[in-house]
Amino acid sequence: MVFFKANTMGKFIQLTEVGPRDGFQNIKQPIPTELKIRIIDHLIAAGAKNIEITSMVSPKAIPQMSDAKQVIAHVLEHHPTITPWVLVPNNRGAQLAVENHISHVNYVISVSPAHNSANINRTHQQSLDELAVIRQAHPDLEISLSLATAFGCPFIGATSTDTLLEMIHFAGDLGIHHITLCDTIGVANPLQTADLLQRVSARFPHLDIGLHMHNTHGMALANMMAGLQNGVTRFETAVGGLGGCPFAPGAAGNAATEDAVNMFSRMGFDCGISLDALLEVSALIRESIEPALLSSLSRARTYREFDFYPPQR
């Protein structure tokens, strides 16, 4: 029998789809804006309500995101009931997001100082100072703080839990309540995940803690299961298992949305997303963008062939 925290039982599982940002930015060939929009439309039709649709970054740094304004305009006009998230690297990005009527942004700091320097060319203190500037300049903006390399770094190996806790404390003092722990290079194991979550929740029981797991070592779903057992009901995933990290050599893609929906739904949890419709989105991506998707279900004949038992919990 599997045991879950009392505050997890019967709860809705929120999956934030990050494929249109985290997934697409790692694809080298330009993706037509019309195709990005089509994929986002299909994800929403499948039931996705929280989607990281793009990032407000320099087109020189990440050309794939140069159509951010067009993507945002389409989503806001045609899908007013969903929550679109936009990644912002600095206050300039946050200002652009606000000017384009975005109310939810994601800000990233790496727990590893080496990765933070490679990724955004900042020290920890500079990143924290910039977060404070964003909070002060945009008090009505919903900010989620993603802590990259929370479980390990390609440059220095193990990262400091004390540093991570200090960053969460800093964000909490700014009134930021959404914190996502990111396994940027996919090296976490379930016991490590459980231990870190227990340390975080013991110190910050009032915060909304989520997980963003990569599947480099094939343990993304196992780590998400450890998260669920420790009270986490918010996860970031990417359709098809898209993604990676340009500053994390060897990192595989994100936990695949379709694999996560399959696991949670078989366990009796509701994600609000149609698995059949999601697999159609994966097929579209495979045919038009990336033929070698990393998700398990995208390679299976059909998930229904092996769905022998009713959901249990």
pLDDT at 239: 97
With a cut of 90, say whether residue 104 has pLDDT above it: yes
* DSSP track, 183-248: ETTS---HHHHHHHHHHHHHH-TTSEEEEEEB-TTS-HHHHHHHHHHTT--EEEEBGGG----TTS
The share of the chain scoring above pLDDT 90, in percent, equals 85
Given pLDDT bands bounded at 50, 70 and 90, which one contains residue 285?
Answer: very high
**Mean pLDDT calculated for residue range 187-198:** 98
The share of the chain scoring above pLDDT 70, in percent, equals 90
Tens digit of each residue's pLDDT (9 = 90 or more) over 59-79: 999 999 999 999 999 999 999
Tens digit of each residue's pLDDT (9 = 90 or more) over 221-264: 999 999 999 999 999 999 999 997 766 666 679 999 999 999 99
**Mean pLDDT calculated for residue range 131-159:** 97
Measured CA to CA, the distance from residue 154 to residue 152 in angstroms comes to: 7
Measured CA to CA, the distance from residue 167 to residue 88 in angstroms comes to: 18
With a cut of 90, say whether residue 110 has pLDDT above it: yes
With a cut of 50, say whether residue 22 has pLDDT above it: yes
Distance set, CA 108 to CA 55, 127, 137, 175, 291 (Å):
11, 9, 18, 16, 29
Given pLDDT bands bounded at 50, 70 and 90, which one contains residue 81?
Answer: very high
Structure tokens that stand for 211 in this block? 């997980």
pLDDT at 308: 60
**Mean pLDDT calculated for residue range 3-8:** 59
> Looking at per-residue confidence, does 36 or 28 come out higher?
36
Enzyme catalytic residues: 245
Measured CA to CA, the distance from residue 186 to residue 214 in angstroms comes to: 4
* Mean pLDDT across the chain: 93
Q: Which residues contact 28 (CB under 8 A, 6 or more apart)?
A: none
pLDDT at 1: 45
Q: Give, to the nearest 10 degrees, the angle between helix 161-173 and helix 124-137.
A: 20
- All domains in the chain, ordered by first residue: 14-300 (3.20.20.70)
Q: Which helix (H) or strand (E) holds 33?
A: helix 33-45
